[in-house]
Amino acid sequence: MTISTTTIQIADDLEVPRLGFGTFQLTDQDAYDAVRVALDAGYRHIDTAQGYGNEAQVGQAIADSDVDRGEVFVTTKLKPSNAAASDVHTTTGHSLKDLGLDHVDLLLLHWPAEHVAPLEETLTAMTEVKDAGKTRAIGVSNFPSVMLARAFDLAPIVTDQVEHHPFLAVDPIETVLHERGGFLTAYSPLAQGEVADHDTLMEIGEAHGVSAAQVTLRWLLQKPATVAIPKSGTPERIRSNAEVFDFELTDDEMARIRGLDRGHRLIDPDGGPAWD
């Protein structure tokens, strides 16, 4: 992997933009409008999922934008209920049809789904989808560290997309990713908006003339091999969240933000994995 502040190169011909745009809870016209604004604002990585119900709007926004499809890194996620091999194949096809694309760049399993199919079956089918050219890379989401290591043993995965922000560290997952050469995708990177009025983050922001949200996103981009996918449905915030490439946090500021961890998990549904 070759890493810069803006991209992570995971193959000779595949770069992941480190700032992505999240689309959870954006539906219908709101999803379309937000993705159009995001592409205009410079985002080149869009995160959607079968479960978000917005693949068609996301795809239409990409098609209608002035940005070439080849410049946009598109991620979608398989619903856990689609983890059986035949459903992996069939529903990836449905996602591509809804998105209006012949391939996505990254296909993730949204949550562990061994109650539906053995992990090996799901990951083997996802690898076949990759080999067929329908996605350029595969990965997992919401996998704790031990399960993540198993996934690396079973298939050529590149990332684990998990909740990560200043109030929730994920050290065991980062250790596995580092050992196996994968990258972390930080979801809910703004702690669903909670970072915005945090005293320490605002104080650091004042020193750089930026907001607490911008400080948080910059912190993630200065960490090793980390991608951040903030969501906003507000045009000014979509734009300001992308203005994180013209200031730099000091080592001391990085450490202060790391010190804000309090195990504050926002997304922990019934039936979800046990976290380490």
Ligand X SMILES: NC(=O)c1ccc[n+]([C@@H]2O[C@H](COP(=O)([O-])OP(=O)(O)OC[C@H]3O[C@@H](n4cnc5c(N)ncnc54)[C@H](OP(=O)(O)O)[C@@H]3O)[C@@H](O)[C@H]2O)c1
In the bound complex, what is the minimum distance in angstroms from residue 76's beta carbon to ligand X? 10
With b for 16 or more beta-carbon neighbours within 10 A and e for fewer, the 78-114 pattern comes to bbbbbbbbebbbebbeebbebbebebbbbbbbbbbbe
The answer to whether 27 contacts ligand X (rule: CB under 6 A) is no
Q: How far is it, in rounded angstroms, from Cα 4 to Cα 13? A: 16
Would you call 52 a catalytic residue per the annotation?
yes
Question: Which of 146, 127, 136 lies closest to 76, judged by CA?
Answer: 136
Which region, judged by CB under 6 A, interacts with ligand X, from 152-160, 173-181, 200-208, 237-245? 237-245
Nearer to ligand X, 125 or 210 (CB): 210
Contact 74, 96 (CB under 8 A): no
Nearer to ligand X, 95 or 232 (CB): 232
In the bound complex, what is the minimum distance in angstroms from residue 65's beta carbon to ligand X? 18
Nearer to ligand X, 13 or 198 (CB): 198
The answer to whether 190 contacts ligand X (rule: CB under 6 A) is yes
Helix axes 251-258, 212-222, angle to 10 degrees: 100
Structure tokens at 51: 């479960």
Q: How far is CA 63 from CA 91, 99, 183, 232, in A?
A: 21, 9, 28, 20
In the bound complex, what is the minimum distance in angstroms from residue 34's beta carbon to ligand X? 8
Residues 41-80 that bind ligand X (CB under 6 A): 47
In the bound complex, what is the minimum distance in angstroms from residue 192's beta carbon to ligand X? 4
Residues 136-155 that bind ligand X (CB under 6 A): 141-142
Residue 107 DSSP SS3 = strand
Total residues interacting with ligand X, rule: CB under 6 A: 28
Determine the residue with CB nearest ligand X: 22
Catalytic site residue from 32, 43, 52, 187: 52
Give the footprint of ligand X on this chain (CB under 6 A). Answer: 22-24, 47, 110, 141-142, 161, 187-193, 196, 211, 213, 229-234, 237, 240-241, 267
Q: Which residues are catalytic?
A: 52
